[in-house]
Amino acid sequence: MKIRLLVLFSLFLAGLNAQAQKNITYAGTPSGPQLLDLYLPANAKAPVPLIIWIHGGGWKNGSKENCLPVRLGFTERGYAVASINYRLTGEAAFPAQIEDCKAAVRWLRAHAKEYGLDAGRFGAWGSSAGGHLVALLGTSGDVAGFDTGANLEVSSRVQAVCDYYGPSDFNTMGDVQGFERHARADSPESALLGGTASEKPETAKAASPVSHVTPDDPPFLIVHGDSDRTVPLDQSRRMDAALRKAGVKTELIVFPGAGHGGPAFSSPETANKVAAFFDSHLK
């Protein structure tokens, strides 16, 4: 869809005007069109680096409307931000979610010149289920089977990943004491996989970012609270360890006393750490 057909308006964000283009169709699926919102920094010299935000919600809820990088002023820092929707588990099981995320990356890369984006400087950032999906984006750049649909002539790789407390290994998640519920048939993970991890071990492996780690993966910043009662800290430790073993640049930040989200993850100090990470790899 051309820019002239999109709704274009200005939002007052973080003290600056940012152009927001809403509800852009990036892919067609059996569930209908998949949409993204694109926020472009005002008065920035193109091409600009892009941060792709992927929302959480247990793969069954959530929306692109609540975009953390925009709320934290990343357009003011000179980044374009794309916030995407993807098929939820009420519509389709895995791998629909990562297929949609990769389709969004490809669409944005294919249209980079049109929107003033730097196609070689794409970062991904997400929380919880979105953290899982950005981690999988980061480690599955060489997994051709997840690339389906249009714009297959361009890459779905990203150049940096910020993973906020995302699951990384579905075959071990329910083994952690206190988190056994993740192995039950009524868990969000089972809805994603189309069955429990024990029933679908190969699907669980395919959906696990740790399974796809290779030395050419992009750098990671992983952030987790040590009092998270939804996703065990062990998942981020496993992700960090797998990346380190492969020689991939990675940093794990653990917030003492923090749960599954909360003020620690959106504080000015944390925003500065995330900005420093993306700056070092995308600018």
Q: How far apart are CA 24 and CA 6, in angstroms?
A: 7
- Look at residue 31 and tell me whether its pLDDT is greater than 60: yes
- Using DSSP bridges, classify how beta strands 16-29 and 8-13 pair: parallel, antiparallel or unpaired: antiparallel
Domain ranges of the chain: 3-282
Fold classified for 3-282: Rossmann fold (3.40.50)
When pLDDT is cut at 50, 70 and 90, the band that residue 7 belongs to is very low
Span 139-168, mean pLDDT?
A: 96
Q: Give per-residue pLDDT as tens, 87-129.
A: 999 999 999 999 999 999 999 999 999 999 999 999 999 999 9
What local confidence, expressed as pLDDT, does residue 17 receive? 52
What local confidence, expressed as pLDDT, does residue 18 receive? 72
pTM of the model: 0.93
Q: Give per-residue pLDDT as tens, 204-246.
A: 999 999 999 999 999 999 999 999 999 999 999 999 999 999 9
Per cent of the chain over pLDDT 70 is 94
- Using DSSP bridges, classify how beta strands 117-127 and 220-225 pair: parallel, antiparallel or unpaired: unpaired
> Which residues neighbour 72 within 8 Å (Cβ) at sequence distance 6 or greater?
14, 266, 271, 274
Q: Give per-residue pLDDT as tens, 232-241.
A: 999 999 999 9
Count other Cβ atoms within 10 Å, centred on residue 95.
Answer: 20
What local confidence, expressed as pLDDT, does residue 231 receive? 98
Q: How far apart are CA 98 and CA 102, in angstroms?
A: 6
More reliable by pLDDT, 7 or 134: 134
What local confidence, expressed as pLDDT, does residue 45 receive? 85
End-to-end Cα distance, the chain: 28
| Peptide bond connecting 47 to the previous residue in cis, omega within 30 degrees of 0 | yes
When pLDDT is cut at 50, 70 and 90, the band that residue 12 belongs to is very low
What local confidence, expressed as pLDDT, does residue 66 receive? 87
